[in-house]
Structure 1
Amino acid sequence: MKVAVMGAGAVGCYYGAMLARAGHEVVLIGRPSHVEAVRANGLRLETKTFDVQVPLDASTEASAVQGADLVLFCVKSTDSESAAAQIKPHLLPDALVLTLQNGVDNDERVRAALPSHDVAAAVVYVATEMAGPGHVKHHGRGELVIAPSRRSEEVAQALIAAGVPTQISDNVRGALWAKLVLNCAYNALSAVSQLPYGELVQGTGVTDVIRDVVAECLAVAKAEGVVIPGDVDAAVRAIAQTMPSQYSSTAQDLARGKRSEIDHLNGLVVRRGEALGVPTPANRVLFVMVKLLEGKQQK
């Protein structure tokens, strides 16, 4: 299978490298410094159990999706429409575009931009970071939950064979909301404090704030008619236990002076809450704090 990773950051590089190790033809599409490093030496995949250089292709051009059977769509939520427009002229008619992004509506936005193509959402549970150009570091987990589509079964089997636990679910919308709750609970707090999850939860009053944020998210989801699977409170507690050294993607963005996805996390909950008449004061405070920090950096 030929695979293109559109937006080759930490998430895309991890899954792209796992598929490349399994023998699939993979091209990473990303920033020039990263692409140069990968072209020169391959991608370094550092995990707790192995540390290898994975040979694969890399490009700065969206046209590199040409011929791909599977596109792992991993751009920031803020770039979904523009990135979809960039790859549209180069997609095979039967390619599957799998959205591996934070937020709950990226697949809908990408599908609107690619009405003639197969687009499916994936829920990502992985702790990764870019440790430098051409170097992705895996801290834990890695499972995917993907929505049904014409090629989902084929793709799921390829991922499983590559060492990526994958399941197909009819309730990916609920699973995306479950992931959104986790992101809303931790991302902004980790960003404002610049602390990893394990240290973060030791702070005075932090678990109370997390409880309030989660309750608001669940209230909005209920008003939306979304059924969230599993034990959400247990999942929230488990994050700090299973990923104690992980900084949120929002924290990593702010640390690098980049724009975050907060508009599509706590900001989305605030907007949906306003539309549905559900109060979201805790999410609003976290959203505003991150936006203030972003604004400060841009001056």
Structure 2
Amino acid sequence: MTLAGDGYIRQSVAVVGAGAVGGVFASAVHRAGHDVLLCVRTPFDELVIETSQGEEHVPVTVVTDPAGLRPVDWVLLAVKSFDTAGTARWLAALCDENTTVVVLRNGVEQTDDVQALVPRATVVPALVYIQAERLAPGHIRHGYGNSLDVPAGRDADRLARLFHGSGTDIRPQQDLVTAAWRKLMLNAAVNPLTALTLRRMEVMGDSMILGLAEGLMRETQVVAEAVGARLTGADVRRTLAFMKEFSDGNGTSMLYDRLNGNALEWEALNGAVVRYADLYGIDVPLNRAMTALLHALRPLPTTTTAEGPADTRLAAA
């Protein structure tokens, strides 16, 4: 890190993963005045963030190989849970005892596998609330939302300073377990139902699908209570109401992953509900059915498309 005028500390930040989440937060830390390294598999010339106000061209450094990299102050880990092991070489090069790794991914099992890869670094879980879509390598459409829920304390304060001036809202949570299960309750419903039906949020206008979404949420809420999260039936009702605020044209990350032929993150969503349900002897037939169906899906033909505006990584996603 370097000290600039007025005591401003310019820090080194590496973003591992250049999908919708990685791209949005790489642009955010750049706006905050920091040096940004974007670690990717597919190279591109520049990072472009498309919003309703126009395009932001972000001058980050794009690298495709960790060889020769030095440890940085911060790593924003923005890959799907099943890709975490594949980041080991990046993390080994980028992290030491002075590095903080912020894990930006879905689910309630965010940090255990990451901490094992960076035993000397500080690891911070973060719940992502944005709506964005990767249109092409290095080209992200950011709809709305720009916040991170993180455990309250020193690390939350440090993150708030890191993102100061970027427009990102760092929201400290006294009970991140409850916050994570509340988010999972929504994710476990809208992600599989949009992915399986190949429809955007307009599918929730179907009363049978809406009833299925509520059933998935209620099962998740019961499991969450057993785990120790402070969720009740009132949270299910509030989550259903929150879901109805999304426009019909919104999609989900799982829907877009399916349309793009990518692996689906079902193990971190409905799969997690089933795993914890088994631990506590709770019956979750709807989540078990979603898990089986998602597991059995085959890739779509490459000509498959989704109709409507391509706006999409739900706040929930």
Q: TM-score, normalised by structure 2?
A: 0.85
- Residues 1:226 and 2:229 are matched in the alignment: yes
Report the Cα distance in structure 1 between the residues aligned to 2:221 and 2:35, rounded to whole angstroms: 41
2:40 pairs with one of 23, 30, 47 = 30
User: Conserved in 2, the CA contact under 8 Å of 1:17 and 1:54?
Assistant: yes
Query: What are structure 2's unaligned runs of at least 5 residues?
Result: 1-10, 302-317
Q: How does 1:11-90 map to 2 (within 5 A)?
A: 11-32=21-42, 35-36=43-44, 40=45, 42-62=46-66, 66-84=70-88, 86-90=90-94
Structure 1 residues 270 and 204: alpha-carbon distance in aligned structure 2, compared to 1, 3 A threshold: same
> Which residue is 2:309 aligned to?
none
Cα distance between partner residues in 2 of 1:64 and 1:75: 22
For 1:261-280, list aligned pairs within 5 A: 261-280=265-284
Instruction: Identify the match of residue 145 of structure 2 among 124, 141, 144.
Output: 141
Kindly indicate which of the two structures has a greater share of residues assigned to helix. Answer: 1
What amino acid is aligned across from residue 158 of structure 2 in structure 1? E
| Residue aligned with 1:102, SS | coil
Change (3 A) 1:64 1:139: farther
User: Which one of 256, 259, 268 corresponds to residue 260 of structure 2?
Assistant: 256
**1:29, 1:64 within 8 Å by CA — same for their partners in 2?**
no
For structure 1, the residue ranges without an aligned partner over 5 or more in a row are none
Could you give the per-residue CA deviations for residues 186-216 of structure 1, whole angstroms, max 9, x where no partner exists?
A: 000010112222x121124111001100010
Check 1:49–1:64 CA distance in 2 against 1; reply closer, same or farther (3 A cut): farther
Q: Name the amino acid aligned to 1:219.
A: V
The 1:178–1:20 alpha-carbon spacing in structure 2 relative to 1, beyond 3 Å, is same
Match of residue 157, structure 1, among 149, 156, 161:
161
TM superposition shift of 1:150: 4.8
Structure 1 residue matching 2:108: 3-state secondary structure: coil
Which of 104-113 and 207-216 deviates more? 104-113
CA contact (8 A) 1:120 1:149 kept: no
The answer on whether the counterparts of 2:146 and 2:167 sit within 8 Å (CA) in structure 1 is no
Instruction: Give 2:172's match in structure 1, choosing from 144, 168, 172.
Output: 168
Tell me which amino acid in the other structure corresponds to 1:113. Answer: L
Cα contact 1:94–1:117 (8 A) shared by 2: yes
Give the letter for the 1:260 counterpart.
L
How large is the RMSD of aligned CA atoms in angstroms?
A: 2.2
Is 2:299 the partner of 1:292? no
Aligned residues of 1:4 and 1:68 also touching (Cα < 8 A): yes
Change (3 A) 1:48 1:110: same
Listed as ranges, the matches of 1:106-145 within 5 Å are 106-145=110-149
Contact in 2 for aligned 1:254/1:294 (Cα 8 Å) = no
Query: Alignment identity in percent?
Result: 29
CA displacement, residues 85-142 of structure 1 (integer Å, 9 cap, x when unaligned): 5412431321110000011112122123322210010011111111112210012212
Contact preservation (8 Å) 2:147, 2:168:
yes
Task: Report Cα offsets for 1:226-266 as digits up to 9, x if no partner.
Answer: 22499443234323423543321111111111111101110
TM, length-normalised to structure 1: 0.89
Measured after TM superposition, the shift of residue 71 of structure 1 is 0.7
User: How far apart, in 1, do the equivalents of 2:182 and 2:67 lie?
Assistant: 34
Q: Give distance in 2, aligned partners of 1:291 and 1:128.
A: 25
Find the residue that maps to 2:257 and give its secondary structure: helix
